[in-house]
Structure 1
Amino acid sequence: MDSANQEFLRGTLKTIVLRLLAQQGRMYGYEITQAVEERTGGELTLTFGALYPVLHKLEEEGLLITQSQEVDGRLRKYYLLTQMGSETALRKLGDFERFVYLMRLLISPAPNVALGQ
């Protein structure tokens, strides 16, 4: 992944995590990283070093709770949205969609203006 994609990913990581959890119900860290990679065809990769601080921050903010479950003799920590987390996920997604719309307005050529002028 190029550095520009990495920069955009950092700025939207909370929104991405909240959206995935809103869609999936509960996920563990590795599962989140794999979902990002699979859904983007490998264009975006999410490292554990970037993911876990965000998960901990969202938990501190009361947007996530954790559940531990034993899987193959090891404890696996699952993350789930709280009610406030679900509401925040919807709001952040709306905010992001609005931002993308505004960016398209800014980067699209103005009507009747030739590119390169």
Structure 2
Amino acid sequence: MKNSPLYKGSLTTIIMKLLEENGRMYGYEITQKVKKTTNGELNITEGALYPALHKLEAEGLLDVEVAKVDNRMRKYYKLTESGKKETVNRLEELEEFIRNMQTLVNPKTNPDLQF
């Protein structure tokens, strides 16, 4: 199920959740954390990650810090205060979506739902 279109709509929420948990992260670190956490089931490409990071930054949800690491400049991303609040909102929305999908896919778990 690698790189399923189902994940694409959740990419920014995934990024924000990781930054909430880890403080600040750089791009490659985000891709590797997702890959490791999902046992290789989800691979975020640079072509998907960086536009999402830039969009979140433009929306004022991320701050960028630049640091020199091994004679290279590295960009670290972290949530702004409004980004922290928006992360809570997006996670609640995603959890509600997942619950609704589970109910629709497996109506036996909800006896009130009759088809």
TM-score, normalised with respect to structure 2: 0.91
Cα distance in 2 for residues equivalent to 1:63 and 1:38: 25
SS at match of 2:73: strand
- Matched with 2:65 is 67
1:28 has 2:26 as partner: yes
- Matched with 1:6 is 4
Task: Figure out how many residues of one structure are paired with residues of the other and give that number.
Answer: 109
Cα distance in 1 for residues equivalent to 2:107 and 2:47: 38
Which amino acid counterpart does residue 47 of structure 1 have in structure 2? T
How is 1:40-55 mapped onto 2 (pairs within 5 angstroms)? 40-55=38-53
Cα distance in 2 for residues equivalent to 1:109 and 1:84: 37
Identity %: 50
Following TM superposition, by how much is the alpha carbon of 1:9 offset from its aligned partner in structure 2, in angstroms? 1.5
Which amino acid counterpart does residue 19 of structure 1 have in structure 2? K
Which amino acid counterpart does residue 29 of structure 2 have in structure 1? E
Which amino acid counterpart does residue 54 of structure 2 have in structure 1? H
- Cα root mean square deviation, aligned: 1.1
Segments of structure 2 that go 5 or more residues without pairing to the other structure are: none
Which amino acid counterpart does residue 76 of structure 1 have in structure 2? R
Which amino acid counterpart does residue 34 of structure 2 have in structure 1? V
Which amino acid counterpart does residue 15 of structure 1 have in structure 2? T
Q: Which runs of 4+ in 1 moved over 3 A?
A: none
SS at match of 1:45: coil
Q: Which residue, 83, 93, 101 being the options, matches 2:99? A: 101
Following TM superposition, by how much is the alpha carbon of 1:6 offset from its aligned partner in structure 2, in angstroms? 2.2
TM-score, normalised with respect to structure 1: 0.89
Cα distance in 2 for residues equivalent to 1:26 and 1:83: 13
